[in-house]
Amino acid sequence: MPTIEETLERLAVTFVVRDIMIPSESLVCAANKPEAAKASDGHPDFNVIPIRQKGKLTSYFERDTRRTKKITVNDLISDGTNSSTLSSSYESVNSPSS
C-alpha cells in the first residue's frame, strides 16, 4: 500500500495547471492601477489583481507592495505544467532568498 507522501506526489504529478485554472472571463480584473487597488481592497483573499487592457491581461497589481508589474514571459506557465512543478516554482519565487 502506498504511503500518504507517495499518494500526494502521484496526485501532484497527475493534476496540471489547466485542471485548476480560472477561465479568463471569470477573473476579477481591473482596467488600471486605481481600479486594481480598489478591487484588491474588496477581495482581501486575492494577492494579485490582473489588469486587462484591450481584452488582454497586460499587468497585475500586487496587494503587498501596492505596485503594478507588467506580465513578462517569465510570469507565464504552460497549462500542461504539473502541479508539483507549479508548487516548486511558487516556493522558489517566494522564498526569502529570492
Give this prediction's pTM: 0.68
- What whole-number distance in Å separates Cα of residue 8 and Cα of residue 13? 9
- In this predicted structure, what is the pLDDT of residue 80? 79
Q: Which of 33-37, 49-53, 77-81, 83-87 has the lowest mean pLDDT?
A: 83-87
- What whole-number distance in Å separates Cα of residue 20 and Cα of residue 25? 15
The conformational region for residue 71 under phi > 0 = left, psi -120 to 50 = alpha, else beta, is beta
Name the residue ranges covered by the structural domains of the chain.
27-77
Categorize the per-residue pLDDT at 9 as very low, low, confident or very high, splitting at 50, 70 and 90: confident
Average pLDDT over residues 73-87: 76
SS3 assignment, position 19: helix
